[in-house]
Amino acid sequence: MKPKDVIKMAEEKNAVMANFKFLDFPGIWQHFSVPISELTESVFEEGLGFDGSSIRGWQAIHTSDMLILPDPSTAFIDPFFEEPTISLICNIVDPITKEYYTRDPRFVAQKAEAYLKTTGIADTAYMGPEAEFFIFDDVRFDQNSHSGYYYIDSKEGIWNSGRVENPNLAYKPRHKEGYFPVPPTDSLVNLRIEMVKVMQKCGIYVEREHHEVATAGQAEIDMRFDSLVRMADKLMLFKYIVKNVARRHNRTVTFMPKPIFGDNGSGMHTHQSIWKDGKPLFAGNNYAGLSDLALYYIGGILKHAKSLAAFTNPTTNSYKRLTPGFEAPVNLAYSARNRSAAIRIPTYSASPKAKRIEVRFPDPSCNAYLAFSAMLMAGLDGIEHKIHPGEPLDKDIYDLGPEELATVPTMPSSLDEALNHLEEDHEYLLKGDVFTIDVIETWINYKRSREIDALRLRPHPYEFFLYFDI
């Protein structure tokens, strides 16, 4: 779609506003709107100004002027505005140099796609994330100098099986038993279907929806795979739709990896493959029908997994999910069908076009543009250096003895540890100027100062249980 097509679309839909969306550094959409009369073809070339110093992780106040540059191929009619509004996803441009902004996550992803083509290995990277989330009925939290707490609730929560609800109709999924009973135990099917319908209207191809394993409204809606940047765009739209449809029904959604103690967290298993000239490159005659190139790609992911975690699992809460016993794959191994491995090779279809790998450790708190790009760069490094992943692990990892388990590397146990690994292992990310030293250093400093240190300074409610009587 070209700028003139966007303007025509706005006219046909009787749009009265144009809305511009872009991503901050951690990974949350920001936006502003203009009257439709301001949406001219020149906007797509010259951009519109905003204050970059007010965006997390971006410009200092003395260099705050930035431009958004709308991407016409991303246009859609926003389903949540009362007045007809056309929305566009934007890139960020420096107003002086007219160069794309290196800390714009979308630009990082665009550079990753461009770098892939320069390698000659492939021309397209496909990503297919399975972003899990929770739908809650009530969420409260606070932290100040003398108190701190959180409280979440769901009519589906098994903890409410004895609550007076006038009447309590039971049928609440037990812990780890939400995958996937029919209604009335699954009480959110109609809400998820509404989410799917809105996604389809916005151009997202949905393959399935279902309740997930945990109690209290855990859900999953799966999109058809797409190329790296387009898939990251769609994941942002996916999150936007899920949250706003839930709000229509006086409910709320979180993509926080581990909001509930004692039950499964939300992951984002990410299917991926690379293609060249319309042909898949991961199908072959090796283990699980993989090609040499696919095995080397796996080798690169496993080699760099600990530094990848800084982008694929970028919150302190991420590591409350990455613990043994809750389906989170902390052990760095690969296998066909074995869901306890960090990388699984799905075996649903024998078609070469369906041959892919599923990286299972990412979670949906990630900035998809950065996470997808980092995984691609790790896989390409594996191909370049022919890093073989070793033998597959087809046993249940949780049943391995201590001696055998000790030979299997594991994911970092904290965000701090992941950032330490990123400091030591990031050369593979710098190829093609995809990630820059500035982006990596800014990411590390932001995470340490705004999240790790902020959490470290505050007492935790459970510490009172452990230590108050000391």
Write down how long the chain is.
470
Residue 51 annotated to the active site: yes
* Catalytic choice (130, 156, 209, 381): 130
Please identify which of the residues 339, 385, 458, 460 carries the catalytic annotation.
Answer: 339
Of 360, 381, 421, 426, catalytic: 360
Written as six digits, the tokens of 147 are 């108190």
Residue 132 among the catalytic residues: yes
Beta-bridge partner residues of 23: 29
Catalytic residue among 38, 51, 404, 433: 51
Q: Residue 255, Cβ neighbours under 10 Å: how many?
A: 21
Q: Active-site residue among 269, 271, 321, 421?
A: 269
Name the active-site residue from 233, 358, 381, 451: 358
82 is catalytic: no
Catalytic site residue from 104, 156, 220, 363: 220
269 catalytic, yes or no? yes
Catalytic residue (one of 78, 132, 233, 263): 132
Environment class of 119 (CB within 10 Å of its CB; exposed 0-12, middle 13-18, buried 19+): middle
**Are 156 and 171 within 8 A, CB to CB?**
no
CA distance 59 to 65: 8
Catalytic status, residue 358: yes
Active-site residues: which are they? 51, 130, 132, 212, 220, 269, 339, 358, 360
